[in-house]
């Protein structure tokens, strides 16, 4: 009954009918804060100087006392007046932007932001506020926000709106080709932020996509959030309204991809495949099956950086490097 007003007869009609669902998700489930009020004046400083790109730390004001920040990677071989696609690379829980950027670090992120910059993309790695415990208990933000009909993603969405404002203003960025790619909590962001912020041209969810209702409520599976302290993942009335497949469908008709390691302990292949089948069917119904994909790989909770990189090159219309570059 909730989805009875959705129109899947064409991509355009779906996108139009999905607007009421996007609005409901933002206002009634996640909670919506007003837009940014501070002047868009970025503070930057150079912190990386790599062979193929330069990296800058960025701070963007949102509201008084609230800011968005991250690391911007700019390829060194850009021609004057050239506008390139951007990949926004999102870290997970209790991590920081340098975890996805620093080419010297060895971790689950596989330096994917640095590797994408090596391939010629402009890259931005935002700081999302689900980090820094125990010094910064982000889960308390969720507890404080919920009585106000808000959540931690109410803040995250406003930060990403401000980030997109700024990225779109840069003279070397093509604002029509800004992609999102996140792992873990960054993958959760991939099915909550791009569906609502249509300036993201596509979204890739890694290490998080699942049959979310079961992930929240199952008594029999050890990966259920019932058994860990992650109460921040629970959103009001989510089980009656939006599962991960529904959230991904709100990205359509823009491209959407899932990256899943067979050994990833945050869920099971069965849950992921079951929920993704709804997405594949939806895109097929709309006549655009080529705009969605899932990649399973032999591995755990990490960025695989194989099929997803090809997906980015394809849909952002950016040529792959001659001979390819190492992704491992």
136-142: long-range pairs with CB below 8 Å, 24+: 138/232, 139/229, 139/230, 139/231, 139/232, 142/231, 142/232
163's tokens = 């980030």
Q: List per-residue pLDDT tens for the chain, 328 residues long.
A: 999 999 999 999 999 999 999 999 999 999 999 999 999 999 999 999 999 999 999 999 999 999 999 999 999 999 999 999 999 999 999 999 999 999 999 999 999 999 999 999 999 999 999 998 877 788 888 999 999 999 999 999 999 999 999 999 999 999 999 999 999 999 999 999 999 999 999 999 999 999 999 999 988 888 888 888 788 888 999 999 999 999 999 999 999 999 999 999 888 999 999 999 999 999 999 999 999 999 999 999 999 999 999 999 999 999 998 865 554 4
CA dihedral 97, 102, 103, 104 (to 10 degrees): -130
Q: Are 75 and 117 in contact (CB under 8 A)?
A: yes
DSSP string, 158-172: HHHHHHHHHHHHSTT
């Amino acid at each position: 009954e909730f989805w009875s007003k959705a129109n899947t007869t064409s991509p355009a009609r779906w996108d139009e009918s999905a607007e009421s669902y996007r609005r409901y998700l933002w206002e009634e489930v996640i909670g919506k804060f007003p837009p940014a009020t501070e002047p868009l004046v970025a503070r930057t400083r150079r912190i990386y100087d790599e062979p193929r790109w330069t990296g800058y730390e960025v701070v963007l004001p949102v509201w008084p006392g609230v800011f968005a920040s991250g690391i911007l990677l700019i390829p060194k071989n850009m021609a004057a007046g050239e506008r390139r696609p951007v990949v926004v690379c999102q870290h997970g829980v209790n991590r920081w932007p340098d975890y996805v950027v620093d080419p010297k670090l060895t971790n689950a992120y596989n330096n994917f932001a640095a590797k994408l910059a090596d391939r010629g993309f402009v890259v931005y790695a935002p700081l999302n506020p689900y980090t820094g415990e125990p010094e910064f208990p982000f889960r308390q933000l969720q507890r404080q926000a919920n009585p106000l009909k808000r959540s931690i993603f109410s803040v995250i969405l406003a930060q990403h709106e401000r980030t997109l404002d700024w990225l779109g203003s840069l003279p070397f960025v093509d604002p029509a080709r800004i992609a999102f790619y996140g792992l873990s909590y960054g993958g959760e962001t991939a099915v909550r932020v791009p569906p609502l912020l249509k300036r993201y041209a596509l979204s890739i969810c890694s290490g998080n996509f699942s049959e979310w209702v079961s992930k929240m409520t199952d008594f029999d599976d050890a990966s259920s959030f019932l058994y860990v302290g992650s109460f921040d993942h629970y959103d009001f009335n989510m089980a009656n309204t939006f599962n991960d497949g529904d959230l991904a469908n709100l990205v359509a008709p823009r491209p959407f991809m899932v990256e899943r390691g067979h050994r990833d302990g945050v869920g099971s292949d069965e849950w992921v495949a079951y929920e993704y089948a709804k997405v594949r069917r939806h895109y097929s119904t709309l006549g655009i099956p080529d705009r969605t994909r899932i990649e399973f790989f032999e591995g755990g909770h990490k960025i695989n950086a194989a099929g997803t990189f090809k997906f980015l090159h394809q849909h952002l219309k950016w040529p792959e490097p001659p001979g390819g570059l190492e992704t491992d």
